[in-house]
Structure 1
Amino acid sequence: MRLLLLPVFLLCYFLAPAQRVTERDFRKYFDEQGVEGSFLLFDAKANQYTAYNLSRCREGFLPASTFKIPNTLIGLEAGALRDTSEICHWDGVQREIAAWNTDMPYAQALRVSCVPCYQQLARRIGAARYQTWLAKLKFGRMNVTAATVDTFWLTGTSRITQFEQIDFLRRFQSGKLPIAKRHQDAVKALLVLGKGPNWMLRGKTGWTGFWRAGKSNHNGWFVGWVEQNGQAYFFALNMEPKNGGPATQEFIQGRRAITEKILRQEFQLMQ
Structure 2
Amino acid sequence: MLLLGLLGTVAVPPAPRITERNYQRYFDRYDLQGSFLLLDAATGQYTAYNLPRCRQGFLPASTFKIPNTLIGLETGAIRDTTDLCRWDGVKRSFPQWNQDMTMARALRVSCVPCYQQLARRVGAARYQQQLPKLKFGRMQVTPATVDTFWLAGPSRITQFEQIDFLQRFQRNKLPVARRSADITKALLVLGRGPGWTLRGKTGWTMQAGHDNGWFVGWVEQAGKAYFFALNAEPQNGGPAAANFIQGRRAVTEQILRQEFGLLPAAAHQ
> TM-score, with normalisation over the residues of structure 1?
0.94
Corresponding position: 1:254 with 2:247: yes
1:234 pairs with 2:234: no
The CA deviation string for residues 162-208 of structure 1, in whole angstroms up to 9 with x for no partner, is 00000000000000000000100000000000012111000000000
1:42 corresponding residue in structure 2: 39
- Whether 1:120 and 2:117 are equivalent positions in the alignment is yes
Q: What is residue 168 of structure 1 aligned with on the other side?
A: 165
SS, match of residue 194 in structure 1: strand
Equivalence for 1:218 = 211
In the aligned structure 2, how far is the partner of 1:87 from the partner of 1:52?
Answer: 40
Q: Structure 1 residue 67: deviation in Å? A: 0.1
The residue number in structure 2 matching 1:197 is: 194
| 2:49 is equivalent to residue 52 of structure 1 | yes
Say if 1:74 and 1:133, in contact at 8 Å, map to a contact too. Answer: yes
The alpha carbon displacement at 1:210 in A equals 2.5
- Give the Cα separation in 1 of the matches to 2:177 and 2:14: 29
Quote the offset at 1:44 in angstroms: 0.6
Moved beyond 6 Å, runs of 4+ = 1-4
Match of residue 96 from structure 2: 99
Q: In the TM superposition, what is the alpha-carbon distance from 1:19 to its structure 2 partner?
A: 2.1
Q: Structure 1 vs Structure 2: percent identity of aligned residues?
A: 70
Residue 90 of structure 1 is matched in structure 2 by 87
Cα displacement (A) at 1:6 = 3.6
How many Å separate the matches in 2 of 1:82 and 1:181? Answer: 14
Aligned to 2:144: 147
Deviation digits for residues 212-238 of structure 1 (CA, Å, limit 9, x no counterpart): xxxx20000000000000000000000
For each residue in 1:43-89, what CA deviation from the matched residue of structure 2 results, as whole angstroms up to 9, or x when unmatched? Answer: 01111100000000000000000000000000100111111110011
SS at match of 1:206: strand
Task: Provide the rounded CA distance (Å) in 1 between the counterparts of 2:179 and 2:70.
Answer: 10
Report the AA paired with residue 218 of structure 1.
Answer: D
Matched residues in 1 for 2:169 and 2:8: separation? Answer: 32
* Residues 102-161 of structure 1: per-residue CA shift (max 9 Å, x gap): 111100000000000000000010101101111000000011000000000001110000
Instruction: Give the unaligned 5+ runs of structure 1.
Output: none
SS class of match (1:177):
coil
Which of 155, 158, 162 is the equivalent residue of 2:155?
Answer: 158
C-alpha displacement of 1:96: 1.1
Q: Contact 1:43–1:49 at 8 Å: present in 2 too?
A: yes
Over 3 Å counting, the alpha-carbon distance change for 1:187 and 1:2 in structure 2 is farther
Q: Within 1, Cα distance between the matches of 2:120 and 2:4?
A: 49
- Deviations along 1:13-47, one digit per CA (max 9) or x if unpaired, are 3xx55420000000000011001000000001111
TM-score, length of structure 2 as denominator length? 0.95
Aligned-partner Cα distance in 2 for 1:140–1:249: 29
Give the counterpart letter for 1:169 in structure 2: L
